[in-house]
Amino acid sequence: MRISELDTPFLLVDLDRLEANLDRAAAAARAADLKLRPHTKTHKTPQIAQLQLARGAAGITVAKIGEAEVMADAGIDDIFIANQIVGPLKIERLLALAERARVSVAVDSTDAAAPLSSASAQRGLRFPVLIEVDIGLQRCGVPPERVLDLVREINTLPGLNLAGLFTYPGQVYASRSENEVAGIAAYECRIMGDLARQVTPIAQVADRISGGSTPTLPHYFADCGLTEIRSGSYVFNDRTQIDRWAAKPENCALTVLATVVSSPEPGRAVLDAGSKSLAADLAPDSPGHGVLKEDNAALLIKLNEEHGFLDLSQAQLKLRVGDKVEVIPNHACVVANLFDEMAAVRGSEVVETWPIAARGKLR
Amino acid sequence: MRISELDTPFLLVDLDRLEANLDRAAAAARAADLKLRPHTKTHKTPQIAQLQLARGAAGITVAKIGEAEVMADAGIDDIFIANQIVGPLKIERLLALAERARVSVAVDSTDAAAPLSSASAQRGLRFPVLIEVDIGLQRCGVPPERVLDLVREINTLPGLNLAGLFTYPGQVYASRSENEVAGIAAYECRIMGDLARQVTPIAQVADRISGGSTPTLPHYFADCGLTEIRSGSYVFNDRTQIDRWAAKPENCALTVLATVVSSPEPGRAVLDAGSKSLAADLAPDSPGHGVLKEDNAALLIKLNEEHGFLDLSQAQLKLRVGDKVEVIPNHACVVANLFDEMAAVRGSEVVETWPIAARGKLR
């Protein structure tokens, strides 16, 4: 089947671009002697996780137990849930999942760790946990100066095995230059390396000092302080990654195929893709909600739920009702969460259709 | 089951508030002698559409054929797709759907109408279409001064039955006072009433002069120029409707139940609900991404995909890890599109769980 035969809106992944993105990240991780444990929240699709593992990924990262369950169903065995697990229902599911896959999770407080500790100890398990360190994002995690205290507290809890430390330098998305990105990566490495040395005498964490993001990916090196990175967005890239010097438009593998449904006057077209298929997320610097793959000067200036307002005034491209176009979105991860499936395409052909099996796994 | 036993994030609809919202809108439409054909994109849930019909709604409105198919599957018979239908696959599905339900659709150009005309004529049908009039939103639709020309063109196309005119005064969301909202409703009524009189000699449109939104709902009256309104958001309300003088916080029926998963310091808490469950849509005036039902001064100041950053500095409420709270979202329609089901609750009890059957019906 050809792309042009698909109904719209349809989510497309360009396999040539995807494979190049996967290869580039795998090479960067290898060059820096880092394990790559990609965050699969970006694609939520077991087939793509398998492509990452085939290129040497050392396990995967997910955000939710539901995502981990889907990936375990697909036979993936080493899964890190980079998120706090809170509540008895989740702990029960987590322990059930651990019977069929190697799973580790985040902790950042004894409040969150204690219920998992009890439940795990009751089953005679030592559940692998990684302490989340906050190096500036101010989301979850403990600040570096409190890590040693938390290590000592976790050490007193039964049923847990402190297996590593991790951080997420998400503040990189607020940086204003590529130099600043490099500086954040350097800071991350220094803090995490220092912590690894401080903690090692009282807990065996040295094998998993985990960090990383897509913008910081090119800025690591051997013995930088980390042993593992969890970059996610590099798989698809998007306008956010372009804004953060991590990609060019021609590296963007995920697009939304859309149809022009109305063109009330020249220079203006309305697409059948709005915030229900592109999400309302803004890019850090670039205006609007997306650009066309066919002509990057064609800008989606506004989204309603089912309508994309396309401004063609700066574009060469002319469009009329019925024409199909591909939109490069601001934020690929949330777009993949809005579709039930994606078409894997090569050139103008649809090669396969992949269910986005972990779409909507919110819990 | 009690709400507190649900895992999070979970979508909740408060039945007392929902029923009050449905009653209020039904009464407003009755008082203005208008048919209410609610836009079901807000809830995407056949059970709620049935509640609307039970209160006198004259059919329903949807945005997509996929939504119409779901509603027809639930036995709903009179469905207006308030959107341009472009592309041969969609036309085929539309004609198949028309064999089992009364369906009408939008047109705003002969480019879009011609393929439907041919396909419909081939089957010996006269498909009901409504011309979309643009009264200021600048999305789809023809401007008022071009309506008569389009009526004449549609009249020459076989297989179509011009059944009415419709508009959507979506610019109301940019208005800055309740007076301005009233002014937009008055303008809508005057323009559409004038057009109805101009068109009536050449096409039988007078029975379906359709308009409306939730903010403008209280501003219509008998013989105002419209015969039908398609308000949608009134079902749930949200922070956008509060900002547009259409609701108070206590009228908001849809919330996202979330758990505090981290509280790194007093006054700051992190919820397990982010843009993947609350969407990144902004409210017209109110800051942030939502407030807590329990304390409207508790503000979600930032969202990542799986994390809501809660600022409690202005709130009375104290929270700790494990506590559950309900978030009133900025934009209910897109939130309902992120969940597969919602819990219908009364007081603290879960009464039923409804599949959001038209969730993700993008085509």
Which one-letter amino acid corresponds to residue A108? Answer: D
In a domain, A202, yes or no: yes
Burial class (CB in 10 A: 0-12, 13-18, 19+), B222: exposed
Whether residue B180 is found in the same domain as residue B286: no
Q: Among residues of chain A, what percentage have pLDDT more than 70?
A: 100
Whether residue B324 is found in the same domain as residue B225: no
Note the pLDDT of residue B262. Answer: 94
Between helices A88-98 and A65-73, what is the axis angle to 10°? 20
In a domain, A15, yes or no: no
Express the helix, strand and coil content of chain A in percent, nearest 5 each: 35, 25, 40
Which one-letter amino acid corresponds to residue B12? Answer: L
CB count in 10 Å sphere of residue A335: 25
Quick check: B140 and A260 CB within 8 A? no
Quick check: A337 and B276 CB within 8 A? yes
Asked if residue A204 lies in contact with residue A236, where contact means CB atoms within 8 angstroms, the answer is no
The pair of structure tokens assigned to A216 is 């910081």
Note the pLDDT of residue A54. Answer: 98
The pair of structure tokens assigned to B363 is 């085509």
Q: How far apart are CA B342 and CA B14, in angstroms?
A: 10
Average pLDDT of chain A is: 97
Quick check: B64 and A306 CB within 8 A? yes
CATH number at B168 reads 3.20.20.10
CB interface of A with B, residues 246-265, below 8 Å? 259-264
Mutate: best of B85, B107, B261, partner A, most A CBs <10 A: B261
The answer to whether A361 faces chain B, any CB pair under 8 Å, is no
Q: Pick B108's closest partner by Cβ from A84, A112, A262.
A: A262
Q: How far apart are CA A177 and CA A244, in angstroms?
A: 8
**Can you give the residue range of the structural domain that contains B90?**
32-236
| Per-residue pLDDT tens digits for A122-181 | 999 999 999 999 999 999 999 999 999 999 999 999 999 999 999 999 999 999 999 999
Whether residue B42 is found in the same domain as residue B165: yes
Residue B78 phi, psi dihedral angles, 5° rounding: -120, 100
Asked if residue B254 lies in contact with residue B232, where contact means CB atoms within 8 angstroms, the answer is no
Confidence of residue A212 (pLDDT cuts 50, 70, 90): very high
Whether residue B51 is found in the same domain as residue B200: yes
In a domain, B21, yes or no: no
Q: How far apart are CA B91 and CA B120, in angstroms?
A: 9
CATH number at B273 reads 2.40.37.20
Distance (Å) from the alpha carbon of A288 to chain B's nearest alpha carbon? 13
Examine the fold and report which residue of B197, B213, B236 is the final residue of a domain before the chain moves on. Answer: B236
Q: How far apart are CA B293 and CA B276, in angstroms?
A: 20
Examine the fold and report which residue of B206, B236, B266 is the final residue of a domain before the chain moves on. Answer: B236
Whether residue A165 is found in the same domain as residue A306: no
Q: Which of A155, A82, A160, A151 is nearest to A118 (CA)?
A: A160
The predicted model gives A201-213 an average pLDDT of 97
Whether residue B188 is found in the same domain as residue B319: no
| Per-residue pLDDT tens digits for B248-266 | 999 999 999 999 999 988 8
Asked if residue A362 lies in contact with residue A66, where contact means CB atoms within 8 angstroms, the answer is yes
Whether residue B145 is found in the same domain as residue B282: no
In a domain, A19, yes or no: no
Q: Which helix (H) or strand (E) holds B276?
A: helix B275-278
Average pLDDT of chain B is: 97
Residue B95 phi, psi dihedral angles, 5° rounding: -70, -35
Q: Is the pLDDT of residue A27 over 90?
A: yes
Asked if residue B18 lies in contact with residue B253, where contact means CB atoms within 8 angstroms, the answer is yes
Q: What is the DSSP letter of B283?
A: P
Q: Where are the beta strands (DSSP E) in chain B?
A: 10-14, 35-36, 60-62, 78-84, 102-107, 127-133, 160-167, 209-211, 228-229, 254-265, 268-271, 290-292, 299-303, 308-311, 324-329, 341-346, 349-355
CB count in 10 Å sphere of residue A196: 19
The residue whose two tokens read 């996202």 is B256
CB count in 10 Å sphere of residue B267: 13
The residue count of chain B comes to: 363
Note the pLDDT of residue A363. Answer: 97
In a domain, B336, yes or no: yes
The predicted model gives B18-39 an average pLDDT of 98
Whether residue A348 is found in the same domain as residue A286: yes
Q: What is the DSSP letter of A280?
A: S
Q: Among residues of chain B, what percentage have pLDDT more than 90?
A: 99
Which one-letter amino acid corresponds to residue A332? Answer: A
In a domain, A73, yes or no: yes
Between helices A65-73 and A46-54, what is the axis angle to 10°? 70
Q: Is the pLDDT of residue B74 over 90?
A: yes
CA distances from B248 to A247, B274, B296, B328 (A): 44, 24, 11, 11
Distance (Å) from the alpha carbon of A147 to chain B's nearest alpha carbon? 13
The predicted model gives B198-221 an average pLDDT of 97
Quick check: A140 and B270 CB within 8 A? yes
In a domain, A24, yes or no: no
Note the pLDDT of residue A347. Answer: 97
Verdict on whether the full-model pTM lies above 0.95: yes
Asked if residue B82 lies in contact with residue A304, where contact means CB atoms within 8 angstroms, the answer is no
Q: Which of A310, A321, A309 is nearest to B109 (CA)?
A: A321
Whole-complex ipTM: 0.96
Whether residue A181 is found in the same domain as residue A259: no
Confidence of residue A265 (pLDDT cuts 50, 70, 90): confident
Burial string for B153-168 (b: 16+ CB within 10 Å, else e) reads ebeebebbebbbbbbb
| Per-residue pLDDT tens digits for B12-22 | 999 999 999 99
Confidence of residue A88 (pLDDT cuts 50, 70, 90): very high
Q: Which of B112, B202, B128 is nearest to B160 (CA)?
A: B128
Quick check: B337 and A338 CB within 8 A? yes
Whether residue A266 is found in the same domain as residue A179: no
Q: Where are the beta strands (DSSP E) in chain A?
A: 10-14, 35-36, 60-62, 78-84, 102-107, 127-133, 160-167, 209-211, 228-229, 254-265, 268-271, 290-292, 299-303, 308-311, 324-329, 341-346, 349-355
CB interface of B with A, residues 175-214, below 8 Å? none
Query: In total, how many domains does chain A have?
Result: 2
Distance (Å) from the alpha carbon of B262 to chain A's nearest alpha carbon? 6
CB interface of B with A, residues 268-307, below 8 Å? 268, 270, 272, 275-277, 279-282, 304-307
Quick check: B83 and A306 CB within 8 A? yes
| Per-residue pLDDT tens digits for A321-340 | 999 999 999 999 999 999 99
The answer to whether A114 faces chain B, any CB pair under 8 Å, is no
In a domain, B325, yes or no: yes
CB count in 10 Å sphere of residue B190: 13
The pair of structure tokens assigned to B305 is 């995909």
Q: How many CB pairs under 8 A join A and B?
A: 167
Distance (Å) from the alpha carbon of B361 to chain A's nearest alpha carbon? 9
Q: Is the pLDDT of residue A59 over 90?
A: yes
CB count in 10 Å sphere of residue B8: 23
Note the pLDDT of residue B264. Answer: 85
Examine the fold and report which residue of B189, B210, B236 is the final residue of a domain before the chain moves on. Answer: B236
Whether residue A215 is found in the same domain as residue A255: no
| Per-residue pLDDT tens digits for A281-325 | 999 999 999 999 999 999 999 999 999 999 999 999 999 999 999
Q: Is the pLDDT of residue B58 over 90?
A: yes
The predicted model gives A52-64 an average pLDDT of 98
Whether residue A223 is found in the same domain as residue A330: no
Q: Is the pLDDT of residue B130 over 90?
A: yes
